[in-house]
């Protein structure tokens, strides 16, 4: 059984994340917490004592409804267990990310941090603006990392600080969509558009709602309409690429990826995605070369694993040399971003957890 301090830490974390609980259950490995919005949080104290069978049991779909698994552990799971979580569509928050979660929720002392003064920030912002900037940064991190419930908590905190702040309102919509609350997300985007009819984030959100409702062709049409208004909108093109990939239209996706690469040829995640597009359209050798080039440009192992999970690819073997400690964002630093395409794929993968993937939809059509 998990130790009493770890069980208490799990309870404090769940409470700090503002989660509504349906059931909390102690296990041999730690604690599992089922939430009323369809998530199963599994807190594992010692990842080296977790079996493959235990992970498969956690990842098994629940009868009568879908559940999204999020695994939290202060250590690092063996690669085979991490891959099993990814194959099941789950999210893993381990090691440095787990410690960062504790720090962001004001629980750093639970992971061994000593109280210390906040270092001076070089940005010339008023304290209130600085706080809002930090809260928005945290929200985006957790949405990117596949924990939308926590992202929602921070986006709502940002709205408390500045009620009319449209980016935070749109973030709430994105987090609701990722939680599978499609109707709530749709209403959130409508409210933004009532006040700001041309708000791009809200219009992108409305398109994403169409995708979540299994209307991908209409989703693609909205993105193309937005690009007709302004072809330089890289974030729109990134969402278009994600929608085309989800639809299985790799030829069209390749065209859009190459348009993005013309502007940012050294963006590693985009280069990796181009390699996959080349492979899917009959150019395997060129695709493999592009994947290698993406790694040379700085694509980290964790980033590659995340991309493979979103694309339904086998994850790469874990490198013998661990990632640099600085590869995980900390509360006081601004990490290198995912890149527009990587972020759009991650967002679609999270929102898509409540609807059939393109692969499952094609299989269903064949059965019919």
Distances in Å between the Cα of 271 and the Cα atoms of 86, 94, 150, 194 are 22, 27, 30, 38
pTM score of the predicted model: 0.69
Instruction: State the Cα–Cα distance between residues 306 and 142, nearest whole angstrom.
Output: 14
Give 106's contacts (C-beta < 8 A, 6+ positions apart): 16
Task: Give the confidence band of 326 by pLDDT, cuts at 50, 70, 90.
Answer: very low
| C-alpha closest to that of 169 among 158, 161, 177 | 158
Task: Give the confidence band of 307 by pLDDT, cuts at 50, 70, 90.
Answer: confident
Q: Compute the radius of gyration of the chain from its Cα atoms.
A: 20
Task: Give the confidence band of 23 by pLDDT, cuts at 50, 70, 90.
Answer: low
Higher model confidence: residue 11 or residue 354? 11
Assess if residue 328 is contained within a domain: no
What CATH number has the domain bearing residue 92? Answer: 3.40.1350.10
Q: What is the residue range of 295's domain? A: 249-319+333-368
First CA to last CA across the chain, in angstroms? 47
Give 228's contacts (C-beta < 8 A, 6+ positions apart): none
- Among 62, 94, 116, which residue terminates a domain? 116
- Encode 137-196 in three state secondary structure: HHHHHHHHCCCHHHHHHHHHHHHHHCCCCHHHHHHHHHHHHHCCCHHHHHHHHHHHHHHC
Go through 318-329 and write b for each residue having 16 or more CB atoms within 10 A of its CB, e for each that does not. Answer: beeeeeeeeebb
CA 166 to chain centre: 21
Indicate the Cα dihedral angle 148, 217, 207, 69, nearest 10°.
-10
Model pLDDT for residues 232-262, shown as the tens digit of each residue:
888 999 999 999 998 999 999 999 999 999 9
Please answer whether residues 172 and 159 qualify as being in contact, where contact means their C-beta atoms are separated by less than 8 angstroms: yes
Assess if residue 153 is contained within a domain: no
Average pLDDT over residues 309-326: 67
Model pLDDT for residues 255-303, shown as the tens digit of each residue:
999 999 999 999 999 999 999 999 999 999 999 999 999 999 999 887 8
Residue 61 DSSP symbol:
P
Assess if residue 347 is contained within a domain: yes
| C-alpha closest to that of 29 among 42, 10, 13, 15 | 42
CA dihedral over 245, 249, 251, 255, signed as positive or negative: negative
Q: Is 93 helix (H, G, I), strand (E, B) or coil?
A: strand
Assess if residue 65 is contained within a domain: yes
- What count of other Cβ atoms lies within 10 Å of the Cβ of residue 173? 28
Assess if residue 284 is contained within a domain: yes
Please answer whether residues 145 and 342 qualify as being in contact, where contact means their C-beta atoms are separated by less than 8 angstroms: no
- Among 90, 116, 142, which residue terminates a domain? 116
Instruction: State the Cα–Cα distance between residues 90 and 106, nearest whole angstrom.
Output: 25
Is pLDDT of 334 > 60?
no
- Among 58, 91, 116, which residue terminates a domain? 116
Is pLDDT of 186 > 50?
yes
Task: Give the confidence band of 22 by pLDDT, cuts at 50, 70, 90.
Answer: low
Assess if residue 108 is contained within a domain: yes
Assess if residue 286 is contained within a domain: yes
Instruction: State the Cα–Cα distance between residues 188 and 191, nearest whole angstrom.
Output: 5
Instruction: State the Cα–Cα distance between residues 93 and 87, nearest whole angstrom.
Output: 15
Task: Give the confidence band of 310 by pLDDT, cuts at 50, 70, 90.
Answer: confident
Instruction: State the Cα–Cα distance between residues 132 and 322, nearest whole angstrom.
Output: 34
CA 359 to chain centre: 20
CA 113 to chain centre: 26
Q: State how many domains the chain has.
A: 2
Orientation of helix 284-296 relative to helix 268-280, angle to 10°: 170
| C-alpha closest to that of 250 among 287, 305, 289, 295 | 287
Assess if residue 39 is contained within a domain: yes
Lookup result for tokens 């599978």: 180
Is pLDDT of 5 > 80?
yes
């Amino acid at each position: 059984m998990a130790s009493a301090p770890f069980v208490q830490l799990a309870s404090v974390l769940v409470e700090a994340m503002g989660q509504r609980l349906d059931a909390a259950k102690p296990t041999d490995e730690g604690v599992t917490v089922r939430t009323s919005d369809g998530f199963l949080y599994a807190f594992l104290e010692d990842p080296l004592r977790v079996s493959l069978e235990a992970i498969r049991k956690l990842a098994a779909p629940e009868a009568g409804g879908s559940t999204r698994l999020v695994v939290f552990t202060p250590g690092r799971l063996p690669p085979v267990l991490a891959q099993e979580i990814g194959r099941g569509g789950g999210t893993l928050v381990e090691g440095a990310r787990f410690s960062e979660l504790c720090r962001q929720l004001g629980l750093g002392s639970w992971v061994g941090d000593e109280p210390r003064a906040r270092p001076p920030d070089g940005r010339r912002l008023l304290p209130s603006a600085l706080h809002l900037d930090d809260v928005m940064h945290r929200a985006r991190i957790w949405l990117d990392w596949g924990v939308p419930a926590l992202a929602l908590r921070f986006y709502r905190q940002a709205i408390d600080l500045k009620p009319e702040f449209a980016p935070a309102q749109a973030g709430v919509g994105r987090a609701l969509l990722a939680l599978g609350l499609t109707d709530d997300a749709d209403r959130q985007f409508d409210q933004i558009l009532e006040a700001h009819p041309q708000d791009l984030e809200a219009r992108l959100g409305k398109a994403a709602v169409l995708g979540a409702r299994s209307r991908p062709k209409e989703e693609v049409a909205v993105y193309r309409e937005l690009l007709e208004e302004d072809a330089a909108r890289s974030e729109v093109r990134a969402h278009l690429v994600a929608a085309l990939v989800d639809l299985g239209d790799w030829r069209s996706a390749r065209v859009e990826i190459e348009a993005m690469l013309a502007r940012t040829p050294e963006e590693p995640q985009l280069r990796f995605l181009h390699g996959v597009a080349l492979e899917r359209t009959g150019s395997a050798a060129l695709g493999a070369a592009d994947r290698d080039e993406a790694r040379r440009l700085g694509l980290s192992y964790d980033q590659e694993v995340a991309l493979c999970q979103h694309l339904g690819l086998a994850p790469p073997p874990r490198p013998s040399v661990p990632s640099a400690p600085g590869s995980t964002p900390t509360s006081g630093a601004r990490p290198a971003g995912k890149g527009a395409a990587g972020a759009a794929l991650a967002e679609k993968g999270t929102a898509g957890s409540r609807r059939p993937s393109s692969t499952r939809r094609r299989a269903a059509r064949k059965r019919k």
